[in-house]
């Protein structure tokens, strides 16, 4: 037996073992909020077996019921959502000697003690820093749906949290001190919880203070480094003590330099907290220690002739040291290295200003060893760098300021000139305050004494820029020791600022006043008003105003824009979006004096509808939507039953005949009158088909077929036509109406549609999805059903294993005797090739044989083994045969006298014409909320029902119910672009998107609409008493 794999968790208690006194079934669901359970009672059965169930389309679960119990009790904690839920339930039961499956789907409300949202009232933060708040949803009951937590306003996207449980939400950084209100929102199913909080933003922490105090020496060079980014916050000579103010919190290192005749202290490192005042004593000791062995100063040599040179040191035993400095004893530290245990060579590039460093110096290497500072080698190094300290560069020819308009660009020419003999490679760049773009050419030049270098400066102003900007040009020498600057100002004239004023959203009155306020920009030449990017009005004098007079057809979202233009051509604009919601309204009513029976539909810019008079004559009306003028055509003593438009031609079915009606209703052409039978249906689909009684006619031809029983529905698809009777679905060839395939029916068909490579069958309670290739085998995936005969020694266990499709289940068959059978008889055509196929998987069996016989017991396919005892995988078994002359019925044997040791799983039986089996797929059923009120194929397939649900099937074959409301739906939706129009039986009209989003829902009058909705500029809705009402559409 096939079971959809989507069930939850339920306990079943069943009492009694008496023979059933009523039809088997499951009672209504009882919800117990006290102990958080639901219960269903099994009726008309003797005992229960395995239970399978699912909540809200979740994963399938199974449950064994207690012995003798006839009630089903299911815990809800941790399984369901707060509010509306769905339970799909299947219970294996026994009535007499038969095993049956009880199925029922329930919708119910679960609203136990309301959960609470636990959030602090206030969260602290500082300027420029975000904050984190923990939100928890507390509940005495666990829920299966997570809560969605978010901040309002702003904040990140929703964060899921189990219930009970919580999650962290990030409050955004703020740029100013103050209190900022937020709301934490938790959405749990249909329950919405809110808790206001305040983000309290305070001032940044106060700065710290560090005092460096010398001991044992009067003055010494000291450097202070911030550890976070390596920045030097102080470098210089301290006499006595030095206080550093305004330090941010963090870790700092104070490095005392070498002083001749003294041993300097180790560097100090410590943390400063906001507002700290810390004093550090740096103690020097008179005298120096011995020079460390194994340290070699490799570079530089005794003389340095360029500002940038390399210091290179070799350390033979680096594991003894942690830090190493290179310093001029008279100037301080030049560079430092962290010493690594396995690294012996260290080098660094040093750049020194010759004006400060030219002359002799003692270059000393100092190291930290076991926490103490020790001396390494030293040598005299003389800097003898040729240097023109007076040499300079100057920028010439550039104006001190320029004025530009937004969107403009400018190129300026200038000169870079050598002064006082400046020479050498020079690098140039340009920067500006943010908001404009600048570039400079060239970016590098070789300057000669008294020489000049031509410059080109480009300035670009974006369209949105305004105000004063500073442009800075910089030239520097190759050593980056000399820097020369030139600044100029760019004044960007301000665009006018526009403020747009409109009534609040939504707009519900006409006319709509629109005004614009303009500031800045100087003289304003005009203000243009736009609606959805279309110019509607221009005003040249203040106050700048425009009145929009919409009609009801303008309902929907609109963008308003005002553009102000200055006398100099600068423009500024503002825009706003509003939703126009002029209410639903009945604009006109046409009293046509008939009982409506067909339509409405549209063709060529006109509306058509059919109905019948009290005297039994039919009429078709054509209405001009512009002036509501109408024409009609009367069928004397023939009631109108259906209207169809196909390929631009208009067809009418009456109680006795089919006609082609000219679109202007001036004449009707008779197409067909059947010999007998009541009208069933008139369908288009490339061609037009009509059915009366048991006869089908291809309209426009003489091609007719009598299928032998009354027809209930038609569905064309390409070269085939599907027809449903009370017992079968037939697939006919359009070419000659020959029977291609058939499939038995177990439901009463209310509608039939071929779409998305599937056949959709609408019954009183369900929408079923079938493969387009029909299968004459009854219950092909439910071998325990009465459709399959077997002897007493053959045992069929339902739902024993997962089927090959991974979604449904297969039956296990075991046999206790040598001679046995599992079979079903099927009607066939004589002298025709067929393929018998099914899926099989061996369990613990040794043998299994299939066979095919005619109904008189004559062998067509002898018993044939198909099981390999060693093979445990699913396989598809098939055999092709030809029916003998005169044979119109056969018996298909899944098992036939196989011998002892049959134990296998079976699923998916088909019988197909020809030599190839068609794919197998279990029937998928979507339960409706009530009796169907219509089915229509648009871009998707839609079914409306009396329970208020709109069911949707899409191209991949999946189904959903995107819209559910009460009361019931009167008919299938009418399309208009991507929107659908629905009507409830209480007169409520609804416009919605295909995902179920409601655009508008109103009740213009309390009458039940009939048949359907036509959309042509407005809505055309028929009502009882022959009233066709013209209703202004929703957006």
Over residues 61-78, mean pLDDT = 79
pLDDT band with cut points at 50, 70 and 90 for residue 976: low
pLDDT of residue 305: 95
Pick from 861, 834, 975: nearest CA to 918: 834
Query: Is residue 4 one of the residues assigned to a domain?
Result: no
Query: Is residue 435 one of the residues assigned to a domain?
Result: yes
| β-strand partners of 631 | 622
Over residues 832-860, mean pLDDT = 95
Collapse the DSSP code of 66 into the 3-class scheme (helix H, G, I; strand E, B; otherwise coil) and give the result.
Answer: coil
| β-strand partners of 655 | none
Say yes or no: 808 and 875 in one domain: yes
Say yes or no: 195 and 217 in one domain: no
Choose one of 672, 704, 721: the last residue of a domain: 672
- Alpha carbon distance, N-terminus to C-terminus of the chain: 47
Cα distances from 52 to residues 63, 104, 189, 372, 721, in angstroms, run: 6, 11, 24, 78, 38
Choose one of 919, 943, 969: the last residue of a domain: 919
pLDDT band with cut points at 50, 70 and 90 for residue 400: confident
CATH of the domain at 105: 2.60.40.10
Query: Is residue 924 one of the residues assigned to a domain?
Result: no
Say if residue 439's pLDDT is above 50: yes
Collapse the DSSP code of 414 into the 3-class scheme (helix H, G, I; strand E, B; otherwise coil) and give the result.
Answer: strand
pLDDT of residue 12: 32
Query: Is residue 587 one of the residues assigned to a domain?
Result: no
Query: Is residue 585 one of the residues assigned to a domain?
Result: no
CATH of the domain at 869: 2.60.120.260
Query: Is residue 784 one of the residues assigned to a domain?
Result: no
Over residues 981-999, mean pLDDT = 88
Dihedral sign, Cα of residue 76, residue 81, residue 83, residue 84:
negative
Per DSSP, the residues of 897-949 read S--S--EEEEEEEEEEESSSPPP----EEEE-SSSEEEEEESSSEEEEETTSE
Sheet strands (E) in 27-130: 30-32, 37-43, 47-55, 61-64, 71-75, 83-95, 98-110, 116-118, 122-126
CB 1032 within 8 A of CB 1002: no
CB 478 within 8 A of CB 427: yes
Say yes or no: 275 and 305 in one domain: no
pLDDT of residue 392: 93
Over residues 236-256, mean pLDDT = 90
Give dist(CA 646, CA 661) in Å, integer.
12
| H or E stretch at 311 | strand 308-315
Give dist(CA 208, CA 948) in Å, integer.
70
Say yes or no: 600 and 560 in one domain: no
Say if residue 157's pLDDT is above 80: no
Collapse the DSSP code of 553 into the 3-class scheme (helix H, G, I; strand E, B; otherwise coil) and give the result.
Answer: helix
Query: Is residue 375 one of the residues assigned to a domain?
Result: yes
Collapse the DSSP code of 230 into the 3-class scheme (helix H, G, I; strand E, B; otherwise coil) and give the result.
Answer: coil
Pick from 434, 432, 496, 494: nearest CA to 466: 494
| β-strand partners of 483 | 476
Compute the chain's Rg from CA coordinates. 45
Say yes or no: 520 and 534 in one domain: yes
Phi, psi angles (nearest 5°) of residue 674: -70, 160
Say yes or no: 657 and 557 in one domain: no
Give dist(CA 837, CA 915) in Å, integer.
11
Which pair of structure tokens corresponds to residue 311? 């210091």
Cα distances from 34 to residues 38, 72, 112, 965, in angstroms, run: 11, 17, 8, 28
Residues 663-704 pLDDT 10s:
999 999 999 999 999 999 999 989 999 999 999 999 999 999
Domain residue limits at 534: 497-580
* Percentage of residues of the chain with pLDDT beyond 70: 96
The count of domains in the chain is 10
Say yes or no: 658 and 690 in one domain: no
Residue 273: partners with Cβ closer than 8 Å, 6 or more residues away:
208, 249
Choose one of 152, 175, 202: the last residue of a domain: 202
Say if residue 8's pLDDT is above 80: no
Say if residue 34's pLDDT is above 60: yes
Give dist(CA 969, CA 990) in Å, integer.
10
Peptide bond into 319 cis (omega under 30): no
Say yes or no: 848 and 758 in one domain: no
At which residue do the structure tokens 């039953």 appear?
A: 641
Say yes or no: 148 and 186 in one domain: yes
Say yes or no: 892 and 1014 in one domain: no
Mean pLDDT of the chain: 88
Say yes or no: 91 and 189 in one domain: no
Which pair of structure tokens corresponds to residue 245? 């103010």
Residue 702: partners with Cβ closer than 8 Å, 6 or more residues away:
none
Query: What letter does residue 352 receive in the DSSP assignment?
Result: -
Pick from 905, 806, 901: nearest CA to 845: 901
Residue 4 CB neighbours (<10 A): 18
Over residues 449-466, mean pLDDT = 90
Say yes or no: 685 and 633 in one domain: no
Query: Is residue 1 one of the residues assigned to a domain?
Result: no
CATH of the domain at 710: 2.40.128.630
* Percentage of residues of the chain with pLDDT beyond 90: 56
């Amino acid at each position: 037996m096939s079971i959809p794999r989507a069930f939850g968790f339920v306990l079943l208690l069943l009492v009694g073992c008496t023979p059933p006194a009523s039809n088997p079934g499951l009672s209504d669901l009882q919800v117990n909020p006290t102990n958080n359970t639901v219960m269903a009672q099994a009726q008309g059965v003797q005992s229960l077996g395995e239970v399978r169930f699912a909540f809200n389309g979740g994963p399938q679960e199974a449950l064994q019921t207690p012995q003798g119990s006839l009630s089903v009790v299911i815990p809800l904690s941790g399984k369901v959502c707060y509010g509306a839920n769905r339970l799909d339930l299947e219970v294996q039961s026994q009535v007499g000697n038969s095993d049956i499956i009880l199925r029922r789907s329930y919708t119910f409300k679960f609203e136990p003690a309301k959960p609470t949202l636990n959030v602090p009232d206030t969260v602290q933060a500082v300027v420029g820093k975000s904050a984190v708040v923990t939100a928890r949803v507390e509940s005495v009951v666990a829920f299966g749906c997570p809560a969605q937590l978010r901040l309002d306003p702003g904040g990140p996207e929703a964060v899921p949290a189990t219930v009970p449980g919580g999650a962290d939400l990030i409050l955004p950084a703020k740029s100013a001190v103050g209190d900022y209100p937020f709301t934490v929102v938790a959405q749990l199913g249909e329950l919405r919880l809110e808790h206001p909080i305040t983000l309290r933003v305070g001032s940044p922490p106060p700065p710290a203070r560090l005092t460096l105090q010398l001991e044992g020496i009067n003055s010494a060079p000291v450097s202070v480094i911030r550890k976070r980014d390596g920045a030097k916050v102080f470098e210089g000579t301290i006499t006595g003590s030095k206080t550093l103010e305004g330090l941010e919190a963090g870790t700092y290192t104070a490095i005392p330099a070498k002083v001749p005749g003294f041993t300097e202290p180790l560097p100090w490192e410590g943390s400063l907290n906001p507002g700290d005042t810390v004093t550090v004593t740096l103690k020097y000791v008179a005298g120096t220690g011995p020079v460390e062995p194994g340290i070699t100063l490799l570079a530089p040599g005794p003389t340095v002739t360029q500002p940038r040179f390399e210091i290179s040191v070799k350390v033979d035993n680096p594991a003894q040291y942690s830090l190493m400095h290179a310093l001029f004893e008279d100037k301080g530290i030049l560079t430092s290295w962290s010493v690594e245990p396995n690294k012996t060579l260290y080098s660094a590039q040093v750049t020194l200003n010759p004006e400060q460093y030219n002359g002799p110096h003692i270059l000393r290497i100092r190291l930290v060893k076991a926490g103490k500072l020790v001396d390494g080698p030293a040598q005299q190094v003389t800097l003898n760098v040729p240097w023109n300290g007076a040499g300079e560069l100057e920028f010439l020819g550039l104006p001190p300021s320029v004025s530009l308009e937004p969107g403009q660009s400018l190129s300026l020419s200038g000169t870079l000139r050598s002064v006082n003999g400046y020479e050498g490679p020079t690098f140039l760049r340009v920067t500006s305050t943010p908001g404009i773009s600048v570039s400079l050419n060239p970016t590098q030049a070789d300057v000669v004494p008294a020489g000049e270098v031509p410059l080109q400066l480009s300035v670009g102003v974006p369209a949105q820029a305004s105000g004063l900007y500073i442009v800075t040009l910089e030239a520097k020498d190759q050593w980056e020791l000399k820097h020369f600057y030139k600044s100029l100002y760019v004044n960007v004239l301000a665009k006018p600022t526009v403020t747009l004023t409109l009534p609040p959203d939504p707009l519900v009155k006409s006319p709509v006043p629109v005004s614009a306020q303009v500031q800045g920009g100087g003289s304003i030449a005009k203000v243009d008003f736009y609606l959805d990017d279309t110019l509607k009005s221009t005003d040249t004098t203040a106050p700048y105003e425009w009145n929009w007079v919409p009609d009801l057809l303008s309902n929907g979202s609109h963008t308003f824009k005002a553009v102000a233009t200055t006398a100099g051509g600068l423009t500024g604009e503002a825009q706003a979006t509003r939703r126009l919601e002029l209410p639903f309204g009945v604009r006109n009513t046409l009293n046509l004096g008939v009982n409506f029976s067909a339509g409405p539909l549209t063709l060529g810019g006109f509306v058509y509808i059919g109905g019948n008079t009290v005297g039994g004559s039919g009429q078709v009306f054509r209405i001009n939507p512009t002036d509501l003028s109408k024409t009609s055509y009367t069928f004397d003593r023939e009631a109108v039953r259906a209207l169809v438009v196909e390929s631009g031609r208009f067809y009418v079915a009456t109680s006795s005949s089919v006609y082609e009606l000219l679109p202007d209703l001036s004449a009707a052409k008779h197409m067909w009158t059947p010999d007998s039978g009541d009208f069933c249906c008139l369908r288009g689909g490339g061609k037009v088909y009509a059915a009366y009684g048991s006869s089908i006619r291809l309209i426009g031809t003489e091609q007719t077929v009598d299928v032998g029983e009354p027809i209930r529905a038609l569905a064309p698809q390409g070269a085939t036509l599907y027809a449903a009777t009370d017992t079968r679905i037939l697939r006919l060839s359009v070419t000659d109406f020959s029977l291609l395939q058939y499939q038995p029916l177990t439901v009463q068909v209310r509608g039939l549609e071929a779409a998305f490579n599937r056949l959709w069958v609408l019954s009183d309670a369900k929408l079923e999805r079938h493969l387009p290739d029909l299968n004459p085998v009854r219950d092909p995936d439910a071998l325990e059903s009465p459709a399959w005969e077997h002897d007493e020694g053959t045992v069929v266990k339902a739902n024993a294993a997962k089927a090959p499709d991974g979604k449904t289940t297969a039956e296990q068959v075991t046999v206790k005797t040598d001679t046995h059978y599992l079979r079903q008889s099927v009607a066939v055509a004589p002298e025709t090739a067929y393929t018998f196929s099914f899926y099989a998987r061996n369990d613990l069996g040794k043998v299994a044989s299939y066979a095919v016989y005619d109904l008189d017991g004559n062998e067509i396919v002898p018993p044939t083994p198909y099981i390999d005892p060693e093979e445990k995988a699913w396989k598809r078994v098939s055999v092709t045969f030809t029916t003998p002359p005169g044979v119109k019925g056969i018996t298909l044997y899944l098992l036939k006298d196989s011998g002892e040791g049959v134990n296998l799983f079976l699923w998916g039986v088909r019988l197909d014409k020809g030599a190839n089996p068609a794919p197998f797929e279990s029937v998928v059923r979507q339960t409706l909320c009530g009796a169907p009120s219509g089915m229509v194929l648009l871009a998707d397939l839609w079914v409306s029902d009396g329970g208020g649900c709109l069911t949707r099937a899409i191209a991949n074959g999946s189904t959903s119910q995107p819209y559910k409301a009460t009361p019931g739906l009167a008919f299938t939706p009418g399309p208009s672009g991507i929107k659908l129009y629905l009507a409830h039986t209480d007169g409520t009209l609804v416009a919605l998107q295909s995902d179920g989003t409601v655009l508008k829902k109103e009740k213009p009058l309390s009458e039940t609409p009939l048949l359907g909705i036509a959309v042509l500029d407005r809505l055309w809705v028929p009502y009882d008493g022959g009233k066709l009402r013209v209703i202004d559409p929703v957006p």
